[in-house]
Homo-oligomer: A and B are copies of this chain.
Amino acid sequence: MKKYLVEFIGTFFLVLTVGMTVIDPVVAVGFAPLAIGSALMIMVYAGGHVSGGHYNPAVTIAAWLRGRCATADVPAYLVAQVLGAAAASFITLYLKSDPTVTPKEIVFVPALIAELIGTFALCYVVLNTATAKATAGNSNYGLAIGFTVTVMAYALSGISGGAFNPAVAVGGTLMHLVKVSNLWVYLVANFGAGALAALTFKFTHPDDK
């Protein structure tokens, strides 16, 4: 139960930061990727030792395929993450006083590629810095994981909006940043990238079970 609460809390703060910095920003444009990646970083450092600090269904799938998330935990993790994203979305809309939000326009193929690339980077960094035996005990995993979202958001948010996370995509839909008719793009690309990253990990770490 405590693991699910930690996943709820972490995803809540990640999606709250997305909503509050992207919708009708009060801070200068350009800082949102820094804030969002840092939100992931702080929650990975705060909760990693309890739940693994996924806060992202694609990461949960990647960790499960790599053998670092129990099968019995997967559904509850996904539920906790989506509930955290939903709670953050409603609080964001309340704090912003029902803002007028213009959903991101995307083109399907480039957006699919951008979400695939960005989510692959995130899951690849998670598996290599937080689950590989060769990097056990380091203090940099949260910095590396959080700043992967910062980097990919600077690089790719112009193409796809930059979710790299099905829970963020669901939250983005509830906050009208993502069109409901585009949600499948994120789900397909993000989960696909998580699986691809797990395969890549197995290939590059053949002796690390």
User: Given the complex, which residues of B lie within 8 Å of A17, measured CB to CB?
Assistant: 151, 154-155
How many chain-A residues does the 8 Å CB contact rule pick out? 66
Query: Nearest residue in B to A5 (C-beta to C-beta)?
Result: B204
Query: Nearest residue in B to A148 (C-beta to C-beta)?
Result: B42
Asked if A76 CB lies within 8 Å of chain B CBs, one says no
Given A42-B151, A144-B142: A49 in contact with B135 (beta carbons within 8 A): yes
Contact with A91, one of B35, B95, B117, B150 (Cβ below 8 angstroms): B117
Which positions 113-143 of chain A face chain B at CB distance < 8 Å? 113-114, 117, 121, 124-125, 128-129, 132, 134-135, 138-143
Bound-state Cα–Cα, A114 to B92, Å: 10
Contact across chains for B27 and A157 when beta carbons are under 8 A apart:
yes
Asked if A75 CB lies within 8 Å of chain B CBs, one says no
Bound-state Cα–Cα, A46 to B125, Å: 5
Chain A, 59-103, contact with B by CB distance < 8 Å: what is the 0/1 string? Answer: 000000000000000000000000000000001001100000000
Bound-state Cα–Cα, A124 to B141, Å: 19
Give 28 pairs: A residue, B residue, CB < 8 Å, sorted on A: A13-B121, A16-B117, A16-B155, A17-B151, A26-B157, A27-B30, A27-B158, A28-B29, A28-B30, A32-B154, A34-B34, A34-B154, A38-B150, A38-B151, A39-B155, A42-B144, A45-B135, A45-B140, A46-B124, A47-B128, A49-B128, A49-B132, A91-B113, A95-B110, A95-B113, A95-B114, A140-B140, A140-B142
The residues of A with any CB-CB pair to B shorter than 8 Å are: 2, 5-6, 9, 13, 16-17, 20-21, 26-35, 38-39, 41-43, 45-47, 49-50, 91, 94-95, 110, 113-114, 117, 121, 124-125, 128-129, 132, 134-135, 138-144, 147-148, 150-151, 154-159, 200, 203-206
